[in-house]
């Protein structure tokens, strides 16, 4: 097939994508022999206004350097058989295609960093033009040429791009698993919605699975309520501080290793990282209750000088609803993986390994994790726990990345400083 514009003719070589909007075709300009990608959009219904908005946004973006801004180069548009045809430079493949090729095996941290940096760079250019993208997801982040320039990307698909000052509460943006709370709640929207979606993208690349998965609004909101609850976030903060404590204990240089006095003042012990932010959560209250074992009658603030001063009863402490022992599925999953690692190393154990639910060798099943975790237990917890077995591989960059996911997930429209907070973390 040949597509005709007023200035050029394009030979259709193959169709590489389709959606509710229409088709995307790989084409060759017959006159110049240049390869292009043409987005063929149906000219009906809501797509008419959406296409007009996309063309308006592309005209603004055309002023930018496509390489410096990490935004796809747009050549122009024409009408073919009543359909709008947008002509772009031809790129390699989307991050969605990359993950499918990898059978959803997670990327390394060092591979995720340049992707996040380049998308953030593109979003900064959009924000300078008072635009929000509105549909950041794996499908809309394209690798330029993965073999020649690994992980060099460009942002595509500006069908939901609007002027930030023109967006009204109630507008539906973003693909469901990447949708932020203010969209669900019908709050005023800003470019900050793109930062939430970028956090979801980074999490998918890190985990090899969607962080918030569901087919309906209710499913995603339910995940948000559970995964971003005060108890959940308090436990995540506690895990990060636990890792920090271990790093200080495992210093190779004994002179740099944390002392017992310093350990008693460490945030993991004092829980000062939890109290100011999550003091009303059950997790925080249970931490406070269980630490009462350290209080010695008649000498509450004293630090024991010998083990004889502390008499810890072997009886089970009394627990209320908020002080129940941790039963987080991810913690249990991490323990299973640690035990499985022991078996692989030849350590004797009566533990019987559970069968893998997702087989990386089976092309019909996406590669997620060796254990299928529940919706409330993202696999990042497992990655933190297996650190005990692979300490040398657990570096600062992983801690910073987990912290980045934490901030990208919990900051909402009510916090206008969200982009600034994330930009500070990009410096790492």
> Based on the structure, what is the number of domains in the chain?
3
One domain, residues 105 and 124:
yes
Please say which residue of 244, 261, 292 terminates a domain: 292
Please say which residue of 292, 307, 333 terminates a domain: 292
Known binding positions: 39
Q: What pLDDT, on the 0 to 100 scale, is given for residue 85?
A: 94
One domain, residues 252 and 166:
no
The pLDDT tens digits of the residues spanning 47-103 come to: 888 899 899 999 999 999 999 999 999 999 999 888 999 999 999 999 999 999 999
Indicate whether 319 belongs to any domain: no
Q: Render the burial of 179-210: b for 16+ CB within 10 Å, e for the rest.
A: bbbbbeeebebbbbbbbbbbbbbbbbbbbbbb
CATH of the domain at 56: 3.30.200.20
**CB 115 within 8 Å of CB 95:** yes
One domain, residues 52 and 105:
no
Indicate whether 255 belongs to any domain: yes
Q: What pLDDT, on the 0 to 100 scale, is given for residue 180?
A: 85
One domain, residues 84 and 103:
no
Indicate whether 113 belongs to any domain: yes
One domain, residues 187 and 105:
yes
Identify the DSSP state of 199.
Answer: H
Indicate whether 62 belongs to any domain: yes
Q: What pLDDT, on the 0 to 100 scale, is given for residue 402?
A: 55
Instruction: List the Cα angle 151/153/158 in 5-degree steps.
Output: 155
Please say if 362 is a catalytic residue: no
Phi, psi dihedrals of residue 3, rounded to the nearest 5° = -100, 135
CATH of the domain at 134: 1.10.510.10
Question: How many Å apart are CA 173 and CA 183, to the nearest integer?
Answer: 7
One domain, residues 102 and 84:
no
Domain with 203, as residue range(s), is 93-219
One domain, residues 242 and 126:
no
Largest CA distance in the chain: 92
Please say which residue of 292, 309, 328 terminates a domain: 292
Q: What pLDDT, on the 0 to 100 scale, is given for residue 45?
A: 80
Supply 427's token pair. 């410096």
One domain, residues 50 and 143:
no
Indicate whether 381 belongs to any domain: no
To which residue do tokens 């829980």 refer? 271
Indicate whether 322 belongs to any domain: no
- One pLDDT digit (tens) per residue for the chain, 428 residues: 899 888 899 999 999 888 778 899 999 999 999 999 999 998 888 888 889 989 999 999 999 999 999 999 999 999 988 899 999 999 999 999 999 999 999 999 999 999 999 999 999 999 999 999 989 999 999 999 999 999 999 999 998 887 876 666 667 778 889 988 888 888 888 888 899 899 999 999 999 998 887 778 778 777 777 666 777 778 888 888 999 999 999 998 989 999 999 999 999 998 888 877 777 788 888 888 888 877 666 554 545 554 444 343 333 444 444 544 444 443 344 444 444 444 444 433 333 333 333 444 454 444 444 334 344 444 445 555 444 444 444 445 555 555 555 555 555 444 545 444 444 544 54
Q: What pLDDT, on the 0 to 100 scale, is given for residue 250?
A: 92
Indicate whether 193 belongs to any domain: yes
Known binding positions for ATP: 39
**CB 127 within 8 Å of CB 30:** no
Q: What pLDDT, on the 0 to 100 scale, is given for residue 166?
A: 67
Q: What pLDDT, on the 0 to 100 scale, is given for residue 301?
A: 52
Q: Given the residues 135, 157, 194, 238, select the one marked as catalytic.
A: 135
One domain, residues 76 and 98:
no
One domain, residues 81 and 106:
no
One domain, residues 116 and 189:
yes
Indicate whether 401 belongs to any domain: no
Q: For residue 259, how many other CB atoms are within 10 A of its CB?
A: 9
One domain, residues 124 and 155:
yes
């Amino acid at each position: 097939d040949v597509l005709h514009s007023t200035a050029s003719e394009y030979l259709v070589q193959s169709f590489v994508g389709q959606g509710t909007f229409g088709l995307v075709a790989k084409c060759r300009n017959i006159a110049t022999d240049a390869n292009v990608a043409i987005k063929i959009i149906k000219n009906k219904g809501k797509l008419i206004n959406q296409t007009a908005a996309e063309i308006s946004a592309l005209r603004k973006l055309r002023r930018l350097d496509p390489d410096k801004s990490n935004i796809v180069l747009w050549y122009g548009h024409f009408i073919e058989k009543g359909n709008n045809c947008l002509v772009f430079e031809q790129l390699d493949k989307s991050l969605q295609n990359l993950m499918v090729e990898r059978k959803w095996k997670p990327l390394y941290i060092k591979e995720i960093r340049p992707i996040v940096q380049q998308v953030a760079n593109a979003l900064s250019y959009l924000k300078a033009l008072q635009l929000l993208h509105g549909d950041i997801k794996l499908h809309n982040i394209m690798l330029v040429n993965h073999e020649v320039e690994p992980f060099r990307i460009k942002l595509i698909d500006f069908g939901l791009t609007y002027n930030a000052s023109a967006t009204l509460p109630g507008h539906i943006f973003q693909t469901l698993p990447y949708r932020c709370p203010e969209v669900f709640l019908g709050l005023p929207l800003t470019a900050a919605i793109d930062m939430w979606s970028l956090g979801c993208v980074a999490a998918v690349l890190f985990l090899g699975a969607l962080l918030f998965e569901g087919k309906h609004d209710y499913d995603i909101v339910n995940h948000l309520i559970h995964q971003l609850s005060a108890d959940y976030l308090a436990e995540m903060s506690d895990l990060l501080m636990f890792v920090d404590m271990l790093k200080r204990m495992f210093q190779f240089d004994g002179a740099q290793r944390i002392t017992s006095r310093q350990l008693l003042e460490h945030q993991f012990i004092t829980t000062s990282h939890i109290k100011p932010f999550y003091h009303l959560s059950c997790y925080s209250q249970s931490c406070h209750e269980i630490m009462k074992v350290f209080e010695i009658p008649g000498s509450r603030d004293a630090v024991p000088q010998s083990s004889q001063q502390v008499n810890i009863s072997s009886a089970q402490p009394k627990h209320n609803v908020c002080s129940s022992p941790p039963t987080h599925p991810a913690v249990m999953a991490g323990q299973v993986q640690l035990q499985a690692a022991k078996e692989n190393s030849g350590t004797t154990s009566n533990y019987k390994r559970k069968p893998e639910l997702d087989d990386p060798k089976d092309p019909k099943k996406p590669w997620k994790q060796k254990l299928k975790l529940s919706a409330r237990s993202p696999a990042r917890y497992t990655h933190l726990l297996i650190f005990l077995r692979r300490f040398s591989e657990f570096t600062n960059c992983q801690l910073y990345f987990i912290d980045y996911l934490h901030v990208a997930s919990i900051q909402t429209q009510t916090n206008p400083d969200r982009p600034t907070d994330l930009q500070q973390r990009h410096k790492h």
